């Protein structure tokens, strides 16, 4: 195989995974914290002479204390089967690399990337656990609104959306697919992209979209281990 100098786009993509992934995480991640007043109720004074009982209205659980469907994020590097990882990212080690998180109960990301010959692929799978289903729904809707041009993915989670975009830098094409999924109070975000550094072309839209959705289905299925 002949040796060619690496183009600038490839050099940037092969920088340390943690730097790239964490940069993307800072831009796209972080569930919105619930308002400080959420779930607070004004206590009512009991009538004179009454005694507190286990069945009193003041002892009823408030909406803010309702149990969440998912309490913790699953291990992201184990979320996608090794065979699927190998098919989407040829030449990669299926173990993946988990990106450091400030709170692994709420946010976790795994990244896989490899260059086989001149063919490059990158896959990220991220989990974000919200404080409530409503919180996750609002975050999902906000992110979908920021990514125009895609469409719904039927039968995946409670809501799912996929979008594919093509970018060109230094005459090198890169095609990237993003799948956003909400399942109860959890968000699953899958990013999958690819480039061919010999032809300078990108993989087809259908290949990238189907690959991202395939990984997302596995990632959503893995949520079961974090049920509250």
Tell me the pLDDT of the chain averaged across its residues. Answer: 80
- DSSP secondary structure string, the chain? ----PPPHHHHHHTS-HHHHHHHHHHHH--PPPPPTTTT--PPPPPPTT----TTSGGGSPPGGGPPPSB-S---GGGSS-HHHHHHHSTT--TT-EEEP-S-TTTEEEEEEEEEETTEEEEEEEEEEE-SSHHHHHHHHHHHHHHSTT-EE-TTSSSEEEEEEEEEEETTEEEEEEEEEEEETTEEEEEEEEEEETTT-----HHHHHHHHHHHHHHHHHGGGGGB-
Task: Return the CATH number at 166.
Answer: 3.40.1000
* pLDDT for the residue 13: 47
* 218 lies in some domain: yes
* 208 lies in some domain: yes
* 122 lies in some domain: yes
Higher-confidence position of 26 and 121:
121
Domain containing residue 116: 68-226
Is 16's pLDDT higher than 80? no
pLDDT, tens only, 113-135: 999 999 999 999 999 999 999 99
* 90 lies in some domain: yes
The reported pTM is 0.72
* 18 lies in some domain: no
* pLDDT for the residue 224: 82
Instruction: Tell me how many domains the chain contains.
Output: 1
* 217 lies in some domain: yes
* 52 lies in some domain: no
* 179 lies in some domain: yes
């Amino acid at each position: 195989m002949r040796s060619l100098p690496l183009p600038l786009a490839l050099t940037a993509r092969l920088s340390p995974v943690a730097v790239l992934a964490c940069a993307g995480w800072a831009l796209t991640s972080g569930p919105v914290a619930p308002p400080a007043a959420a779930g607070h109720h004004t206590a009512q004074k009991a009538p004179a002479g009454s005694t507190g009982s286990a069945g009193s209205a003041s002892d009823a659980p408030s909406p803010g204390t309702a149990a969440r469907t998912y309490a913790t994020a699953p291990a992201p590097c184990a979320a996608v089967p090794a065979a699927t990882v190998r098919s989407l990212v040829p030449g990669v080690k299926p173990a993946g690399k988990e990106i450091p998180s400030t709170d692994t109960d709420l946010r976790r990301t795994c990244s896989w990337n490899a260059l086989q010959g001149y063919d490059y692929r990158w896959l990220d799978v991220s989990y974000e656990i919200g404080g409530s289903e409503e919180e996750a729904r609002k975050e999902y809707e906000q992110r979908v609104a920021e990514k125009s041009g895609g469409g719904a993915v039927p039968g995946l989670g409670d809501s799912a959306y996929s979008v594919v975009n093509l970018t060109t830098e230094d005459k090198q094409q890169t095609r990237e697919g993003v799948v956003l999924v909400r399942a109860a109070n959890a968000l699953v975000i899958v990013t999958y992209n690819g480039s061919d550094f010999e032809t300078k072309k990108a993989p087809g839209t259908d290949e990238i979209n189907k690959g991202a959705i395939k990984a997302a289905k596995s990632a959503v299925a893995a949520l079961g281990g974090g049920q509250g």
